[in-house]
C-alpha cells in the first residue's frame, strides 16, 4: 500500500505510478464495499505488492550506484517515518473507539491490535480459525476493524528483510549486478506458492508471507531491470494489454476462491510487472494514469487503505439508516476525508522532519509500544457465541460416570412455557416429571448452537439434579454437505472440517459421552445459496437443494441413533437479523428456514419414537426476541444471559420432556 518515500529517494516522481496506486486502492475500496462487478478487487493488493518491490529495489540500487553501499539504518528510518505514524494513529483510534463500545462483538480485538502493531497480523490471522472469505460471513459477530492489516504486515516484513538480502546479494557479486539473483529469487517464490497451497491449504496461500512474497519479488526483478539496463522500448506495447488483464481480473475473479487461494497470484503479478515496465516509456496508458484525480487518489492511497476498513465497519446501514449507493458514498467520502487529513496533518509533516535514523526508529518504537499499551487496555472481547463460561466444567457430562437407564419420577415442576416439541413426542407439559438420574444432553451444531447450548449448560449447572450438558459445536458448519456456498459476489467451499464434524466428531462424542438426548441446531449456513456438482446456485427452496437438506439431516440423525442416542431433538431455528452487515442476508428470509423445518418435521414423522422438533424460532418470536439487539447483539447469537433465560423458561424443560417421553 505504501510506495517509495520521496524523502531521501533518488528517483524522479512518476505521476503514472501514483495513478496506478489510485486504481489499485479504488479496486480494494469497492471490493470491500461488495460493489457488483468488483469481486476480484482484492487484486489491487497484489498490484501494491508488486509496485512496492519495484520502487524499493530501484531506490536501493540507485543508492548503491551513487554511494557504493546501502545505508540500512537510514532505509529503516525512512520506512518508519513513512508507515508508522498513520498506522499507529489508526490503531490508537480503534483502541479508543473500542473503549466507547465499538466492535464489542468482535472476538480477540486485543490480540488483533497487538498483531497489527507488531507487523505480524497475517500470521495472527492464519493461526486463527477463519478464512479470508469469512470476513464477510453471515454467521458471526462482525469483522475485526484490523482485518486488512494482513497485507501491510507482509509488506513491512519484506521491508525489514530486503535491504539485508539485497546487500548480501550485491556483496557476493563483485559486479554489483543484482538482476539475475533477484530474478532467480522471484522465480523460486512463484514456483513455491502453489506448493504451499497444496501442502497447507488456501488460507496459507492467501495469508502466509512465503506464499505472497513472489508478488513483491516480481516487482523487485522489474525494478532491477530498469535500474541496471533500462526497460526495453518494446515493452511499452505491454502497458495497455496488461492494464486490461488486471481490470478483467478485478471484474471476474471470484472472492473466497480461485487463483489467489491456489497460490497463483505470484505468477499473475508478472502482468503487473509488465505494466510497470511499460509505464517506463511515454504512451497513452502512462498519460491516462497521470490524470490529476488518479494521482491525487494515489497520493492518499496508503491512508485510504489504512482507514477505510475500520470506517466501513462503523458506517453501516443500521447506524446510518442508509443502504445501497447512499451508504457506499458515505463510506467512500469518509475514507477520502480522513485519508486526506492524515496525509496533510500527519504523514507529510513527519516525513519532512529532519530526523536522524536513530531518533526516527526510537520514535517508531515508542509509537508501537503506545499501541501495544493501548491494545492491552481494550475491553476483553470473545466470540459472542461462547456463553457457557465457568459453568461448562460444572455441568459437563462425566464420560467416566456410569449411565444407567433414565426414569421419570414425580417432580416439583419446571419453570417454563411456550411451544414445546412438535411431532410425535407431543407437547411439553411443565412439571410433569423429574428425571432420575440427571439427563445427559449433548448439543450439536454451529455457533448458534454453541451460544444457545451455553445457556443450557448454565441452566444445568444451576440444576445438577436434572441435567448434565456438553456442547460439541463447530462454528461455521451446517448439516448440509458437499456444496459450495454462494454469497453476493463470492463463493466459499464448505470446509473439510465440517465434513469431519458430521462424519467423525458427532458419533465420537456420542460414544464417549453416552447422552440420553442429542439436541441439534443450525443457524444460517444451511440457508445460504449453494452450488452442488452439476448445478448452478440453488436456494434451499429449490428441489435439488431440498434433497440435499433431507439427505444431510437424515444422515446426521442416523449417525446419532446408530451411535446410541435414544432421543434426537431438532430445534427449528429462528430467522436472524445480522444488522451490522449492509448486504441482505439469507438468514433474514423466513421461507429459507421453513425449508429446513419441513425436513426436520419429516424426520420426526418417520421416526416418532426417537425424533422430535421444538419450535425455537416460534418461542423467540412470541418473546419478542427476534429483533432485540440486547438479546442478540449481532442479530444472530444469544448473549449468555439471554441463552440462560431461554434455557430456564423453555429449552431446559423441553429437552427434559423429550428425554422422558415414553419412559
Distance (Å, whole) CA 460 – CA 455: 9
Q: Tell me what pLDDT residue 430 has.
A: 46
Residue 481: is its pLDDT beyond 50? yes
Distance (Å, whole) CA 491 – CA 137: 11
Distance (Å, whole) CA 613 – CA 605: 10
Q: What is the pLDDT of residues 44-73, one digit of tens each?
A: 999 999 999 999 999 999 999 888 889 999
Strands 434-436 and 484-487: unpaired
Q: What is the pLDDT of residues 340-383, one digit of tens each?
A: 999 999 999 999 888 889 999 999 999 999 999 999 999 876 66
SS3 381: coil
User: Could you write out the DSSP letters of every residue in 337-366?
Assistant: HHHHHHIIIIIHHHHHS---HHHHHHHHHH
Distance (Å, whole) CA 435 – CA 101: 43
Q: What is the pLDDT of residues 113-132, one digit of tens each?
A: 999 999 999 999 888 655 44
End-to-end CA distance of the chain: 67
Angle at 81 between CA 77 and CA 87, to 5 degrees: 130
Give the C-alpha distances (Å, rounded to integers) separating 607 from 518, 610, 612: 15, 6, 9
The residue with greater pLDDT, 325 or 633, is 325
CB 222 within 8 A of CB 277: yes
Residue 601: is its pLDDT beyond 80? yes
Point out the least confidently predicted range of 5-14, 550-559, 613-622. Answer: 5-14
Label residue 432 by pLDDT band (50, 70, 90).
low
The CA radius of gyration of the chain, in Å to the nearest whole number, is 28
- Of 384, 350, 310, the closest CA to residue 86 belongs to 350
Residues whose CB is less than 8 angstroms from the CB of residue 311 and which lie 6 or more positions away in sequence, other chains included: 331, 334, 335, 338
The H-or-E segment that residue 94 falls in is helix 72-99
Distance (Å, whole) CA 392 – CA 272: 53
Residue 479 buriedness (CB in 10 A; 0-12 / 13-18 / 19+): buried
Residue 101: is its pLDDT beyond 60? yes
Rounded to the nearest angstrom, the gap between the alpha carbon of residue 466 and the centroid of all alpha carbons in its chain is 39
Distance (Å, whole) CA 124 – CA 113: 10
Q: What is the pLDDT of residues 198-226, one digit of tens each?
A: 998 888 999 999 999 999 999 999 999 99
Q: Tell me what pLDDT residue 22 has.
A: 97
Distance (Å, whole) CA 187 – CA 213: 11
Q: What is the pLDDT of residues 216-273, one digit of tens each?
A: 999 999 999 999 999 999 999 999 999 999 999 999 998 777 899 999 999 999 999 9
pTM of the model: 0.72
Residue 18: is its pLDDT beyond 50? yes
Distance (Å, whole) CA 89 – CA 82: 13
Give the C-alpha distances (Å, rounded to integers) separating 11 from 18, 57, 236, 637: 14, 11, 20, 54
The torsion angles phi and psi of 107, rounded to 5 degrees, stand at: -75, 135
Q: Tell me what pLDDT residue 127 has.
A: 83
- Of 614, 655, 663, 661, the closest CA to residue 468 belongs to 655
Residue 6: is its pLDDT beyond 50? no
Number of neighbouring beta carbons within 10 Å of residue 384: 24
Q: Which segments of 201-323 does DSSP mark as H helices, in order? A: 202-207, 209-228, 239-252, 265-278, 284-289, 292-299, 301-314, 317-320
Label residue 517 by pLDDT band (50, 70, 90).
very high
Residues whose CB is less than 8 angstroms from the CB of residue 176 and which lie 6 or more positions away in sequence, other chains included: 64, 65, 170
Label residue 190 by pLDDT band (50, 70, 90).
very high
Amino acid at each position: 500500500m505504501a510506495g517509495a518515500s520521496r524523502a531521501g529517494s533518488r528517483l524522479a516522481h512518476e505521476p503514472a505510478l501514483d495513478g496506478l496506486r489510485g486504481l489499485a486502492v479504488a479496486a480494494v475500496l469497492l471490493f470491500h464495499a461488495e460493489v457488483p462487478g468488483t469481486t476480484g478487487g482484492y487484486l489491487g493488493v497484489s498490484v501494491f505488492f508488486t509496485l512496492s518491490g519495484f520502487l524499493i529495489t530501484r531506490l536501493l540500487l540507485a543508492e548503491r550506484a551513487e554511494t557504493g553501499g546501502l545505508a540500512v539504518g537510514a532505509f529503516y528510518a525512512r520506512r518508519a517515518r513513512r508507515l508508522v505514524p498513520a498506522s499507529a494513529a489508526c490503531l490508537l483510534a480503534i483502541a479508543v473507539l473500542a473503549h466507547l463500545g465499538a466492535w464489542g462483538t468482535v472476538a480477540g480485538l486485543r490480540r488483533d491490535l497487538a498483531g497489527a502493531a507488531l507487523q505480524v497480523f497475517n500470521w495472527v490471522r492464519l493461526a486463527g480459525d477463519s478464512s479470508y472469505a469469512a470476513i464477510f460471513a453471515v454467521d458471526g459477530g462482525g469483522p475485526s476493524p484490523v482485518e486488512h492489516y494482513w497485507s501491510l504486515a507482509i509488506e513491512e516484513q519484506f521491508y525489514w528483510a530486503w535491504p539485508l538480502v539485497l546487500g548480501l546479494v550485491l556483496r557476493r557479486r563483485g559486479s554489483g549486478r543484482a538482476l539475475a539473483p533477484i530474478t532467480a529469487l522471484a522465480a523460486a517464490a512463484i514456483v513455491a506458492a502453489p506448493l504451499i497451497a497444496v501442502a497447507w491449504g488456501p488460507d496459507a496461500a492467501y495469508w502466509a508471507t512465503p506464499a505472497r512474497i513472489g508478488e513483491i519479488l516480481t516487482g523487485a526483478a522489474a525494478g532491477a531491470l530498469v535500474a541496471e539496463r533500462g526497460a526495453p522500448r518494446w515493452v511499452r506495447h505491454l502497458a495497455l494489454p496488461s492494464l486490461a488483464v488486471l481490470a478483467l481480473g478485478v471484474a471476474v475473479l471470484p472472492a473466497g476462491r480461485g487463483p489467489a487461494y491456489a497460490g497463483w497470484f505470484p505468477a499473475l503479478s508478472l502482468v503487473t510487472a509488465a505494466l510497470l515496465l511499460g509505464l517506463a516509456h511515454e504512451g497513452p496508458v502512462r498519460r491516462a494514469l497521470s490524470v490529476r484525480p488518479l494521482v491525487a487518489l494515489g497520493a492518499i492511497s496508503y491512508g485510504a487503505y489504512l482507514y477505510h476498513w475500520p470506517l466501513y465497519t462503523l458506517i453501516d446501514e443500521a447506524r446510518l439508516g442508509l443502504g445501497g449507493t447512499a451508504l457506499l458514498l458515505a463510506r467512500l467520502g469518509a475514507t477520502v476525508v480522513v485519508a486526506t487529513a492524515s496525509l496533510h496533518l500527519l504523514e507529510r509533516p513527519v516525513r519532512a522532519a529532519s530526523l536522524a535514523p536513530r531518533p526516527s526508529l526510537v520514535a517508531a518504537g515508542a509509537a508501537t509500544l503506545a499501541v501495544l499499551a493501548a491494545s492491552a487496555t481494550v475491553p476483553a472481547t470473545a466470540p459472542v457465541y461462547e456463553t457457557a463460561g465457568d459453568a461448562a466444567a460444572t455441568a459437563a457430562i462425566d464420560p467416566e460416570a456410569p449411565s444407567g437407564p433414565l426414569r421419570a419420577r414425580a417432580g416439583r415442576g419446571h419453570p417454563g412455557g411456550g411451544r414445546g416439541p412438535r411431532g410425535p413426542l407431543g407437547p411439553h407439559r411443565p412439571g410433569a416429571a423429574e428425571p432420575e438420574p440427571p439427563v445427559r444432553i449433548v448439543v450439536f451444531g454451529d455457533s448458534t448452537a454453541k451460544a444457545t447450548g451455553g445457556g443450557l449448560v448454565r441452566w444445568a449447572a444451576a440444576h445438577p439434579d436434572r441435567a448434565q450438558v456438553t456442547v460439541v459445536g463447530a462454528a461455521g458448519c451446517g448439516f448440509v454437505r458437499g456444496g459450495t456456498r454462494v454469497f453476493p459476489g463470492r463463493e466459499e467451499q464448505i470446509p473439510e472440517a465440517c465434513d469431519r464434524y458430521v462424519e467423525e466428531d458427532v458419533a465420537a462424542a456420542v460414544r464417549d459421552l453416552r447422552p440420553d438426548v442429542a439436541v441439534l441446531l443450525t443457524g444460517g449456513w444451511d440457508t445460504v445459496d449453494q452450488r452442488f456438482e452439476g448445478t448452478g446456485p440453488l436456494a434451499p427452496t429449490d428441489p435439488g437443494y431440498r434433497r440435499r437438506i433431507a439427505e444431510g439431516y437424515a444422515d446426521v440423525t442416523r449417525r446419532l441413533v446408530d451411535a446410541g442416542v435414544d432421543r434426537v431433538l431438532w430445534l427449528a431455528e429462528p430467522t436472524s437479523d445480522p444488522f451490522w452487515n449492509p448486504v441482505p442476508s439469507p438468514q433474514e428470509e423466513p421461507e429459507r428456514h421453513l425449508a429446513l423445518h419441513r425436513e426436520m418435521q419429516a424426520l420426526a414423522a418417520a421416526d416418532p419414537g426417537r425424533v422430535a422438533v421444538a419450535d425455537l424460532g416460534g418461542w423467540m418470536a412470541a418473546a419478542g426476541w427476534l429483533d432485540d439487539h440486547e438479546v442478540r447483539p449481532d442479530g444472530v447469537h444469544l448473549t449468555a444471559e439471554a441463552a440462560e433465560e431461554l434455557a430456564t423458561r423453555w429449552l431446559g424443560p423441553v429437552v427434559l420432556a423429550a428425554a422422558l417421553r415414553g419412559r
